[in-house]
Structure 1
C-alpha cells in the first residue's frame, strides 16, 4: 500500500472534511469543488494514469481528467461521505483502502450474471462451456462490491443476504458496457434465456423440474454490482417462534429445481458431457457443409423455443390461461426443429415427427405413448394456429398435458444430442430406418443404454431401466 500512500492520505483528508458538512446530496457537490477534492484527483492521476486505467477518466473541454462521477458514485466514496456527514461511524481507514484498490486494481472484465430460480448446494462451481454455475458465500459477494467497508452500513447488506448461496450463471462479456441497473428489458440483444441457452440447456436436461432465469444484470467485479432487490423474487417463510407465535421471514423463492449435495458430482459430469455435445453440433454453424450448418441452427432454434416455454411457466400450476395454448406451439416447434429432415416434403410432416419421436424410445408401450403425446400436441397446436380454442380440456387438464409434453420434449432433446452423428449423416433418416428395422433395439437402444449408464440425469427414464 505504500506505493499509493499519497492517494490514501488525500482520501482520508477529504473524508475528514466531509464530516463537517450537512448530509445532503448538495453537500457532496460542494465537496468536489473544494481543494481537498482536487488533491484526490491529482493523487488518482499519479497513482492510476489514464493509460493504465482509462475507465476512471472522462474528457472535459478536450482534456482527459479523472471522472468525478466514477470516483464518487461507482466507488462508493460519495456514499461514505454522506454517511460520515450523518454521523454514522464509518471505518474511514477501510474506506480509503477500498478506494485505493478501486482506482489502482486491474480493470475488471464485464460479466453477465443470470440469477436462477433454483437451489444448489453451498460451494457449487460447475463449468458449462464458457459459463460457470456458482453459488457465492457472503464473503465472496462482499469482495465483488466496490466498497466492502460500507456493506454492513448500507441497504446493500440486505441485498447480499437475499442472494448469498443463490445460484448464478456467469460469463465474461468484454464487449458489453457496464450500465447502471440493467434489467430484463435490455434492447442491446435477445432476451437472456435465448442468448444464454447453451448454459441453461444442460441443466434443464439434467432435471425435469422447471428452471427459470429470474433476472439478469451486468457485473464488473469491484466496479459495479447494482443488484436491485426487486430483481430477487421472494416468498414468506413461517417459523415457529417463542410462546407459540409464528414468525414470518422474507426469503428468496428457490422454485422447484433443487439439487442436493450428493448429486453435485453427477451433475458436474453430466453438464461436461452435454456441453461438449452441444459445442460439437454448434461448431457446424460456420461449416460450409449444409447438413452441419443446418443442424446447428436447428439445435439453437429448438433450444430457444423450449426456453421461451419454460420462462412463461412458473410452475406446473402457474401457467397463464391466455398462454397455455401458445406454449403447445413452442414445444411443437422445438420437436420439429430437432426431428425434421431436409428431405421432407410439406405433406406428412406431423406423421414423420410422431414416428421419429417414437423411434427415440425403447419398447412398444413407450413408443406408443410418445406417438400419442405428439399427436395430441399437434392437435392442440393446429387449434391454436387456426384461431380455435382447445375446448375438450379443463384448465387443469391442459396444464397436466403441458407438463407431459414438456417431459417428452426434454427426453427427445437429450436423446437427439446423444444419437446425433458427428458427420454429415441425417439423424432423421436413421430414425426412419429404425422404425422399420428389427435391429432398432440393438443400434439405438445400445447407444442410449450406454449413455444413461455412464452419464445418467437425475431421473432415469422409464424405458431404460437400470442394468
Structure 2
C-alpha cells in the first residue's frame, strides 16, 4: 500500500471515530482533538507520507522536537471542522474529505497573497495584470478552490457566503514573506494602510473613471488553507425584487458603489490600466537609482497618489463627507497637486502662482485653463486658511462639498496628465509647463502627447478639453 493510501485510510478511520465524539463545543476544539489517542496514529501517518524536509509548513517545534502541527493539520486543512461537523451529526462526505486532506499534506505549500476587495462592479471574466498585481473577478468555482476543504462549504453554520462575493473585483498580489494569520484585520499594524501600501495597483483604476473607488476590506489568503474574509467585512445593501406573483422579495447583496464598468468597456479598461501601470513603473524604476533627481521624481508620484487615495478612502459619496474631515480631504488634494507641480528650484514666495500656472498648462483650451487656474487658486487659499488654524468663511456646507468634488476631479486629471507627460529621464516637469504657459509656440509639446494618449488609450470618458480640440 502506498504512503498516500495509508494516510487516506488513517484519515477515514479518524472520521469514522469522529461520529462517536461528544458534540459539546469544548470537547471538539482543535486542542481537545489533538489529545485523543487516535491523533497519534494520524500524526504518524502524516509524518510517514509528508516528511518535514519536504513539507516544513506542516510541522512545529515542541520541546525541541519537530512534530506535525495540529493547528495546520486540523485548522488549516479543514479536518478539524469536518470532525466537529461529524460529531454534531452532520452529513459529511468522508471520501472527499479524506482525499482533500491527503492533497493538503502532499501538495506544495501555497504562497500567501494579499487580497483587496473593491467597492466596484466589473464585468465577469475581468483579469487585468497591473505589475505584480492582478485585478480579477472570481467565479464561484474559483472561490471554492481558494477555501480550505471546499466540500465542507455551506455545511458550517458560520460559513462564508461565497455567493455574496462571486464576481466581486479583487486586487491580489503574492506576498511570500507574509505570515498567514487566522483573522487578519484592516488595522493589523503590519504596514501602511491598504490604499497607501498598494497605491500602484489602485491608481490606474481611480484614473480610469471619476466615480469613487475604495478598498472595502483587505486580508491574507493562502489558497486551499486560509480564506478568512469575514462576512462583516463585505458591505451590503438590500435590493427589492418582484417575484412572478407580484410579491416583493428582499435580498442582501454586496454594495458595489457607483464604480461600474460595463462589459463593452472591458477591453478599453484593460488597455488603459496596462498603459498607466507601465507609466507608473517607468517613474518608479528610478526610485532607488543613485541619481538624486530620479529618487525625487518617484517620491513625488508616490506622495501624490497616497494623498489622493487617502482622500478617496474617506469619501463614501461626494455628498456624504464628514464635516469634520472635509477640510482635511481638501488638504490631501492640494498636497497631491503640490507634490507634482512644485519644482525644487522654486522660490517660496511664488509657489501658489507656480502651482496655478502649471496646473492650467496641462489643459488644452484657453477656457479650461482659465477654469483650472481659478479652481487651484481657491483650493490653495483654502489650504492656507486651514493650515493656519482659521475657518473658511462665507461658504455653506453644500458649497464646500461641491468645491471638494471639483477639486477631487481636477486632482485626478492632473495626476493622469502628469503621468502621460513625464518622461523617464527627468525629475521635473515644471520647465516644460512653464514654457507652455508663457509661449504659445511651445504648447504642442504639451498638447500633442495628451491628444495622442487620450485618442489611443482613453479613460471611461474623454475630457472636454481633449474633445474640443
Counterpart in 1 of 2:411?
409
Q: Secondary structure at the match of 2:311?
A: helix
In 1: Cα distance, 2:441 partner to 2:377 partner: 26
Aligned equivalents of 1:410 and 1:465: distance in 2?
18
1:228 is aligned to 2:242: no
Q: 1:109 to 1:156 in 2, by over 3 A?
A: farther
The one of 73, 77, 95 equivalent to 1:71 is: 73
Structure 1's 444 and 104: CA in aligned 2 closer, same or farther, altered over 3 A? same
What is the 5 A alignment of 1:74-223?
74-155=76-157, 158-223=160-225
1:2 shift after superposition: 5.6
2:240 corresponds to: 238
Kindly indicate whether residue 291 of structure 2 is the aligned counterpart of residue 289 of structure 1.
yes
Alignment partners' CA distance in 1, 2:255 and 2:416: 28
- 2:294–2:427 CA contact under 8 A, matched in 1: no
Task: Show the counterpart of 1:273.
Answer: 275
Q: Matches of 1:387 and 1:362 in 2, distance apart? A: 36
**Is the 2:297–2:427 Cα contact (8 Å) retained in structure 1?**
no
Of the three residues 373, 397, 400, the one matched with 2:399 is 397
> Structure 1 stretch 236-245 or stretch 352-361: which is displaced more?
236-245
CA offsets 1:19-38 (integer angstroms, 9 cap, x no match): 01121233335543333211
Please give the alpha-carbon distance, in whole angstroms, between the structure 1 residues aligned to 2:86 and 2:142.
26
User: Quick one: distance in 1 between partners of 2:393 and 2:248?
Assistant: 45
Compared with structure 1, are the counterparts of its residues 264 and 294 closer, same or farther at alpha carbon in structure 2 (3 Å cutoff)? same
**What number of residue pairs does the alignment pair up?**
467
Distance, in Å, in 2 between the alignment partners of 1:256 and 1:330 is: 22
Provide, for residues 120-160 of structure 1, a one-character-per-residue CA deviation record: whole Å limited to 9, x for no partner.
Answer: 11111000011000010110010111111100212465421
3-state DSSP of counterpart to 2:61: strand
Is 2:332 the partner of 1:330? yes
Match of 1:19 in 2: 19
Aligned to 1:304: 306
Task: Give the 4+ runs in structure 1 shifted more than 4 A.
Answer: 155-158
In 1, Cα distance between equivalents of 2:426 and 2:370: 29
Q: 1: distance between equivalents of 2:201 and 2:157?
A: 32
* CA separation of 1:209 and 1:455: change in aligned 2, threshold 3 A: same
Q: Structure 1: give runs of 5+ residues left out of the alignment.
A: none
- Say whether residues 1:49 and 2:48 are aligned partners: no
User: Which deviates the most, 390-399 or 193-202?
Assistant: 390-399
**Aligned with 2:467: secondary structure?**
coil
Whole-Å separation in 2 of the counterparts to 1:384 and 1:178: 42
Q: How does 1:28-39 map to 2 (within 5 A)?
A: 28=28, 29-39=31-41
Is 1:40 aligned to residue 50 of structure 2?
Answer: no
What's the Cα RMSD here? 1.5
Residues 30, 424 of structure 1: alpha-carbon distance in 2 compared, 3 angstrom cutoff: closer
CA contact (8 A) 1:159 1:227 kept: no
CA distance in 2, matches of 1:75, 1:341: 55
Deviation at 1:219, TM superposition (A): 0.5
Contact 1:24 1:82 in 2 (8 A): no
SS in 1 for 2:315: coil
SS of structure 2 residue aligned to 1:424: coil
Deviation at 1:245, TM superposition (A): 3.1
Shift of 1:242: 5.7
CA distance in 2, matches of 1:31, 1:184: 31
Deviation (angstroms), 1:371 = 0.3
Q: Following the alignment from structure 2 to structure 1, what is the Cα–Cα distance between the partners of residues 221 and 428? A: 42
Q: Does the 8 A contact of 1:373 with 1:405 survive in 2? A: yes
Q: Distance in 2 between matches of 1:95 and 1:156?
A: 19
Q: 1:349 aligns with which of 342, 348, 351?
A: 351
CA distance, structure 1, for counterparts of residue 399 and residue 168 of structure 2: 33
Deviation per CA, 1:273-329: give whole Å up to 9, x if none: 111110111111111222211000011000000000000001111211110111110
Confirm or deny that 1:422 pairs with 2:424. Answer: yes
> Deviations along 1:189-246, whole A, 9 cap, x unmatched?
1001000000000001111111000100000111111111110000111112365432
Unaligned runs of 5+ in 2: none
